[in-house]
């Protein structure tokens, strides 16, 4: 049993086929690892039955906190809204599509006490196309060249120390690049980062939101913009 506390943040957009299964898995499994926890579902302007499903779950599950966005603001904004209401020492991002089980993160939970950010790296994924593999390795290589990062995975499940995350004072954004940005900024601040194995499961239903070419291109561009933004902030050597 972990002696710290945990908020689970789930950005949700049109996940009617999976969200009930995801939330039930989380609330059933978390007591095995934490005594003090909450689950925050951020409904990012869903247009399917997700809103109704979440409302029904909210009446049934005491540990479920619902945040409703009137319109779709994008992954980054939904994530930040969830972190704004998180009340526990740590907060973890979990996707709402069923690709992840809480039990898959048990090794990451063991690393919480002495670290500020835990990165879960994916294993067991067999559905990657060649183009997806090339983009993933290309992106990690870019992050190494720009920021010196040498982590196995920056776009999967994260667990942050909430107080440190809030120090960053991030601005809302639409895309998934917020996950990379947080890793870079934690690294720049010298905060402790560790990696732990996680696993991947095929999504339960619906459509993948962050694997389109335009999303990948935007993420590459955002990484380059962040590099130059940080470079401008560095004090000049005298």
Q: Could you tell me if 174 and 181 are in contact, meaning their C-beta atoms sit under 8 angstroms apart?
A: no
For the residues 49-58, what does the mean pLDDT come to?
97
Rounded Cα–Cα distance for residues 225 and 219 (Å):
10
pLDDT tens, position by position, 123-141: 655 555 667 677 778 888 9
* Domain residue limits, the chain: 2-233
How far is Cα of residue 43 from the mean position of the Cα atoms in its chain?
Answer: 15
pLDDT tens, position by position, 72-90: 999 999 999 999 999 999 9
Q: CB-based burial of residue 46 (10 Å sphere; 0-12 exposed, 13-18 middle, 19+ buried)?
A: buried
Model confidence, pTM: 0.87
The length of the chain is 238
The secondary structure of 108-164 as a DSSP string is HHTTSTT-SEEEEEP-------HHHHHHHHHHHHHHHHHH----S-SSS-EEEEHHH
Rounded Cα–Cα distance for residues 59 and 139 (Å):
42
Mean pLDDT estimate for the chain: 88
Q: What is the CATH architecture of 2-233?
A: Alpha-Beta Complex (3.90)
> Which residues pair with residue 69 across a beta bridge?
44
């Amino acid at each position: 049993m972990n002696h710290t506390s945990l908020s689970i943040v789930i950005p949700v957009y049109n996940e009617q086929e999976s969200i009930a299964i995801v939330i039930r898995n989380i609330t059933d499994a978390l007591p095995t690892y934490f005594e003090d926890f909450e689950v925050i579902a951020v409904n990012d302007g869903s247009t399917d039955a997700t809103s109704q499903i979440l409302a029904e779950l909210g009446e049934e599950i005491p540990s479920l906190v619902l945040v409703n966005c009137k319109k779709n603001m994008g992954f980054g904004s939904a994530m930040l809204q969830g972190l704004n209401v998180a009340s526990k020492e740590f907060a973890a991002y979990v996707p709402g599509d069923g690709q992840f089980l809480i039990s898959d993160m048990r090794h990451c939970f063991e690393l919480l006490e002495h670290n500020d950010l835990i990165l879960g790296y994916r294993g067991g994924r067999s559905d990657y196309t060649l183009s997806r593999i090339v983009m993933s390795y290309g992106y990690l290589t870019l992050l190494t060249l720009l920021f010196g990062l040498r982590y196995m995975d920056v776009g999967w499940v994260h667990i942050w120390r909430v107080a440190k995350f809030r120090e960053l004072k991030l601005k809302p954004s639409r895309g998934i690049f917020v996950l990379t940005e947080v890793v870079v900024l934690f690294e720049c601040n010298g905060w402790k980062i560790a990696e732990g194995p996680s696993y991947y499961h095929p999504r339960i239903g619906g459509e993948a939101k962050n694997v389109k070419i335009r999303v990948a291109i935007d993420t590459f561009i955002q990484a380059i913009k962040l590099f130059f933004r940080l470079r401008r902030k560095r004090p000049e050597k005298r």
